[in-house]
Structure 1
Amino acid sequence: MAGQVDLGPLDQALETAHLPSLSAALVHLTGDRSWLRPEWRPTYTPLSKGETGVPEVEQARMRAAAKAAITDYLTGNVPMAATPGPDLVREMMGFVAGADIPDGYGEFLTDELALDGHSSKDPDWSPELKTVARRLHTLVIGAGMSGLLAAIRLEQAGVPFEVVEKNTDVGGTWLENTYPGCRVDSSNHMYSYSFEPNHFWPQHFSTQPVLLNYFQDVAARHDLRKHIRFGVTVEEMAWDERRAVWKVKLQTPEGPQQVEVNAVITAVGQLNRPRYPQITGRERFAGPAFHSAEWRHDVDLTGKRVAVIGTGASAYQFVPEIAGKVGRLTVFQRTPPWGFPVAHYHEDVPAGMNWLMEHVPFYDKWYRFWMFWMVTDGLLPMVTADPGWNGPSTAVSELNQGFRDMIAMAIAAQAPDRPDLVEKVIPTYPVGGKRSLLDNGVWMAALQRPNVELVTEGIAEITETGVVTADGQARDFDVIIYGTGFHASKFLWPMKIRGRGGADLHETWAGDPRAYLGMTTPGFPNLFMIYGPNTNIVVNGSIIFFSECSVRYILGCLKLLAQTGAVAMEPKREVHEAFNTRVDEGNRLMAWGAPQVASWYKNEAGRVTQNWPFALVDYWRATLTPDPQDFVLTKSAELVG
């Protein structure tokens, strides 16, 4: 390897390194477990960029030793040591995590770490099974993050498939949402496929164009576009019981078409249909008015009087971006969001960090492992309700109260001279009750600009010229922007889906969507959902992890069909009901399930239809492989007719 790697950036790289992850990587290089010495074991600060609590003198010692070891390896003087055994890997995990790994997590984290390049999420189908699987023609709806993932795994398994996508390119939410400031709120090294790392993320939390480019590059590397039909929507699909196929009506650029497939995988997401508020006179406004998810780039906001209705995740990002451009900005807030203090939310990834990712073997895996562990289940106890809690309704437990106090102090510190503003922006509901956002100070800074006003009075109506609040005050505007979220509880809407006996899925759900493991529903055979009911996560992890688990399970279902010769499968009703009962009980014990909290996590009946209330390890374990005993498997001889 001598001369192949420029060692010039090494000193800078070591200054920016996450040293516990580097220690673990150096165990791989050297075989020396002394890299895990107690004085280098981290003690982390919650929500920080990775401060380890290790004294600077010890950090300097570690960097000096690391420089020598990395130089020896990259110049070819020392070969890679033998692969660490399971006991040593477990010790390395505890070192990087800064805490012993609890029982029940070892196998899960080993699988996620995938040190040998393989994980349970990779399809493992024999050539004989792939031959049988050629009859399982599958339709994937959506070419966003989950749809691309499904396509990759189907291709690897040898299952014939086609993807239909309503847009003109891949990317899903990262293609559609182009509002100013749009970016991810999970770290990029987590918000990326486990098998498709990117060693060159420009920022810790990347912007929409960067994320779109990542997913488009993945589609190109796996040559997926040849399987995708763009500009196509699914209007209706019906299960043909006699032939065990889905008849799917499509609207294409060439006109209506119908296809028949053995299985359907929906990958349309939960937040894909913008929701406008029911405000009297909304259609009367004479100026430009649009939703943040449908941003009008042809509307110049420079010097304009702009109203923003809503203070959710999108507004939290675009308001700071436009505040300095507009003439006057009025933000209408119904409920304030909790903003977790994350100082590096807009910071660049140091070039040295990317150099380590690219050139030091296993550093990228251990760095991702550390990030994964820090957000996996560590915050879950802080948003779990204590049934015996008799404190204020602004919290659900003593831990939750402490978490609330910490974040409220961080918010208040950003506006020491504006107690009136602080009172408006600190929520009165528990932390975790609604979607929490990431805050590096730009939101509060924007609200304190002289041309910005935060209004908490309710809106009575919208007129031709502006907005009238409940106190009778009228304000005129040139532009209205809605940051009012999406139709989150309307899963798979507006598609019409008819299962056994012609049953309509939306009528069956009656506004209360449920699915076994968030993926399958009785009476709707061979219909699999990614990011379905109760698979959203609030504080523990990245949705990509859930999608990878779901796709693994769905491929397992298709594998089960191939292995058994069955033509249809659906969950047993009692299995489906028992699962949803357990989920409901779990959600009632979380901050977002508290009766005093109203949010888009709940449907109109007050049931939490969105969220997974348990640990990530529980979903990982539940979706490792489908249990045939959970399903009704239909053989061809049993078909109706």
Structure 2
Amino acid sequence: MTPTPEPDADEIHRFDDLYPVSQSEAIVEDDEFLRQVSAGSELPVLLAALAAALGDTSILHTDLQPPLTPMDTQPHPHGGMSESQKEKAAAVAFSALTVLREKQITTVDVLPDETVREIFHYLSGGREEWYRMLTHELDLATDKGGRPSWTFGEVAQGRSFPTLIIGAGVAGIAAAHRFAQAEVPFTLIEANGSVGGTWAKNTYPGVRLDTPTFGYSYSFAQRGDWPHQFARGGEILDYLRDVAERALITDRIEFSTRLLRLRWDDDGRVWEATTRGPNGSEQVRRFAAVVSALGQLDRPNIPEFEGQSLFRGTTMHSQEWDHAVDLKGKRVAVIGTGASAYQIVPAIVGDVDALTVFQRSAPWMLPAPNYHHPMTDAFSWLVRKVPHYAQWYRLWVILTGIPGRTHTVTAEADWPGAPLSVSAKNQELREYLVARLEAQFRDAPEILQHVVPTYPPGAKRMLRDNEVWASALLAEKTTLVTSGIARFTEDGIVDNDGLLHEVDVVVYATGFKPSDYLDEVEVLGRNGVEIHDFWDGDARAHNGVMVPGFPNFFLIYGPNVGGVVAGSLHFMLERAVEYSLKAIHEVLRRGAAAIDVRREALDRFVAWVDQGNRRMAWGQPYVSTWYQNRHGRVSQIWPYTNVEYWDITESVVESDHDFLD
């Protein structure tokens, strides 16, 4: 990805964006070109961007308002506009583009509040309950809101309040940037040698997003020149490193420094943190607050099989890919058919001599014909020529993702189609997806019987289907094994049918241990209670952020905030960071030492989240998924929308907390 020119500090501050759009290129193309580009655009986005650039919301005609037809499998182009709407909208867009050309408009400033409301009304169908959350994502809003409205010096001049941030991945970068904006003193440690978290670790062949690129970015770093509709892993890693550089975070990171232990000193009202540095030496430091940005999907899960140590070939987990191993001409086994295997198998099938895929359960796949596609030429032109088009497009992706596909995985009580589906809509989705599989495997009925999942769509993570998975499984060199693994031998793997599969390389695409939050760290809170003892295998945190008995300790991407069919991960992470800063602001404003959430507040939050999860496909009693912990409770997933998370993180409720002197 070509680096974007460095903006000046005033632009960054004005838009609260590390990639501010100061000026677009002037439009010089003729009418015919403008007609073509209008027809090739996402029309609601283009009309919103033009209304903002022209300062004229009258072009947002009521009869051109997108219906926001719920997406069953993939977003509806233009928000579900009818053909007549699209035809008229394209004409309006063309006319507005000619005005932009004639007036040589190449910049747009922060918009009046009323203009923002009118554009939101048009894009959202008048859903006012969404407006505040959308404002958080819009560069051109006067009260965008993510940037702290206070600084440490204004609230606590002269006070010592060192904060520890753990991890320099997606969450840690967000935390460090916002804490730096608030001028809260912090130390950032990262166990690995570079920025990037999961994107620095996962470099296996084929790695890329399975969510649209523009929805996978920070509100404060809205890059517009993404090359692919679903970004490659290296592109995301480059982005994260560039964000850290632009935010002046990189030079503040202590790399190759691992957190070993945290202990709350109730007398001193501080956390004692034991870390191990790059030279192996341990150090104990004291911090007023701790922010954990360690993430969920980090610890590889490698199942135990009889005879594993006997195998003489090469083994690797997908997160620990050994690029020194040349797979050309090798016999390779891939264990697993989840998200990473789904990307690895098509990427390597052309190189290997033989490929054996061991499947425990088949994945559901949503159609995504553009999964490997670059951004279109029309899109790239609009990003260059229409002020803030990329930022409006990002907002549109987030807006349409608020409801997402929630309606397709919401369960009906006493649904007779269980356990294969959870509702009439879910059954309809199942039948559609099965029909796609039948078409792809029509010449291989012996494989088809194994690739149709036996659980409801949405009960587990759904993957993106551009038919390369089916092509890889149908290749002559590929063998799909569904009987399970009996044992390893020196030369390969014996399945439960007694067949030996001789292989040279084994790839464990077996996922992670997601419910084991902070599993490699000892965290001792008030009265010496260890956090894992408090959780007893059932990780819980109020708003996904705070745990009773662990003052001034904040989790970013904590329990129950992961989205799977709706919402933006980055929004959830950013709001958790902002909520942490609000809590710290309350501590500083009051002159208190620490804040501790009350147990009744946690219990109330968990009951609400559990109620929501029980309504979803993944929360049904007959479903088994990694979303559940060993107690059977869904401890990973957020069952509501980003809007509800906005609401609960808008303020720190005094009655839910204790403030320690």
What code does the residue aligned with 1:234 have?
L
Tell me by how many angstroms 1:207 deviates: 0.5
What code does the residue aligned with 2:119 have?
M
1:66 paired with 2:93, answer no
Q: Which whole-Å CA distance do the structure 2 matches of 1:449 and 1:429 have between them?
A: 26
Unmatched 5+ stretches in structure 2? 1-21
Counterparts of 1:235-634 in structure 2, within 5 Å, are 235-254=260-279, 255-634=281-660
Tell me by how many angstroms 1:355 deviates: 3.4
Checking the alignment, whether the CA contact within 8 Å between 2:327 and 2:352 is kept in structure 1 is: yes
Checking the alignment, whether the CA contact within 8 Å between 2:136 and 2:219 is kept in structure 1 is: no
Task: Give SS of 1:376's match.
Answer: coil
Tell me by how many angstroms 1:629 deviates: 1.6
Counterparts of 1:112-261 in structure 2, within 5 Å, are 112-116=137-141, 118-125=143-150, 128-132=153-157, 135-254=160-279, 255-261=281-287
Partner of 2:53: 29
Tell me by how many angstroms 1:84 deviates: 5.5
What code does the residue aligned with 1:475 have?
H
Structure 1 residues 361-382: Cα deviation after superposition (integer angstroms, max 9, x where no partner): 2422321222112221131122
Change (3 A) 1:240 1:60: closer
Partner of 1:96: 123
Checking the alignment, whether the CA contact within 8 Å between 1:29 and 1:73 is kept in structure 2 is: no
Using the TM superposition, name which of 38-47 and 538-547 deviates more: 38-47
Change (3 A) 1:69 1:260: same
Tell me by how many angstroms 1:14 deviates: 3.8
What code does the residue aligned with 2:372 have?
H
Structure 1 residues 608-631: Cα deviation after superposition (integer angstroms, max 9, x where no partner): 110111122111110112112211
Tell me by how many angstroms 1:469 deviates: 1.1
1:5 paired with 2:34, answer no
Change (3 A) 1:127 1:314: closer
Checking the alignment, whether the CA contact within 8 Å between 2:152 and 2:184 is kept in structure 1 is: no
Using the TM superposition, name which of 315-324 and 400-409 deviates more: 400-409
Task: Give SS of 2:398's match.
Answer: helix
1:54 paired with 2:83, answer yes
Q: Which whole-Å CA distance do the structure 1 matches of 2:314 and 2:356 have between them?
A: 16
Q: Which whole-Å CA distance do the structure 1 matches of 2:304 and 2:344 have between them?
A: 22
Using the TM superposition, name which of 127-136 and 567-576 deviates more: 127-136
Structure 1 residues 47-100: Cα deviation after superposition (integer angstroms, max 9, x where no partner): 147354435754652453133022124367xx96994553x6445335335xx2
Checking the alignment, whether the CA contact within 8 Å between 1:48 and 1:342 is kept in structure 2 is: no
Using the TM superposition, name which of 348-357 and 427-436 deviates more: 348-357
Q: CA RMSD in A?
A: 2.3
Q: Which whole-Å CA distance do the structure 1 matches of 2:624 and 2:83 have between them?
A: 42
Task: Give SS of 1:331's match.
Answer: strand
Checking the alignment, whether the CA contact within 8 Å between 1:602 and 1:608 is kept in structure 2 is: yes
Change (3 A) 1:514 1:365: same
What code does the residue aligned with 2:202 have?
N
Change (3 A) 1:417 1:264: same
Structure 1 residues 91-149: Cα deviation after superposition (integer angstroms, max 9, x where no partner): 5335335xx24352233223333532542321110575354485221000000011011
Q: Which whole-Å CA distance do the structure 1 matches of 2:582 and 2:381 have between them?
A: 38
Checking the alignment, whether the CA contact within 8 Å between 1:129 and 1:562 is kept in structure 2 is: no
What code does the residue aligned with 2:122 have?
F
Change (3 A) 1:133 1:357: farther
Change (3 A) 1:111 1:26: same
What code does the residue aligned with 1:207 have?
R
Scaled by the length of structure 2, the TM-score of the pair is: 0.91
Checking the alignment, whether the CA contact within 8 Å between 2:23 and 2:387 is kept in structure 1 is: no
Aligned residues: 630
Change (3 A) 1:132 1:624: farther
Unmatched 5+ stretches in structure 1? 636-641
Task: Give SS of 1:105's match.
Answer: helix
Change (3 A) 1:81 1:543: closer
Structure 1 residues 469-505: Cα deviation after superposition (integer angstroms, max 9, x where no partner): 1111111111100100001110011011111111111
Q: Which whole-Å CA distance do the structure 2 matches of 1:310 and 1:542 have between them?
A: 27
Task: Give SS of 2:129's match.
Answer: coil
Scaled by the length of structure 1, the TM-score of the pair is: 0.93
Checking the alignment, whether the CA contact within 8 Å between 2:364 and 2:457 is kept in structure 1 is: yes
Q: Which whole-Å CA distance do the structure 2 matches of 1:507 and 1:85 have between them?
A: 49
What code does the residue aligned with 2:381 have?
W
Checking the alignment, whether the CA contact within 8 Å between 2:151 and 2:183 is kept in structure 1 is: no
Using the TM superposition, name which of 46-55 and 543-552 deviates more: 46-55
What code does the residue aligned with 2:51 have?
V
Q: Which whole-Å CA distance do the structure 1 matches of 2:570 and 2:588 have between them?
A: 27
Q: Which whole-Å CA distance do the structure 2 matches of 1:413 and 1:102 have between them?
A: 39
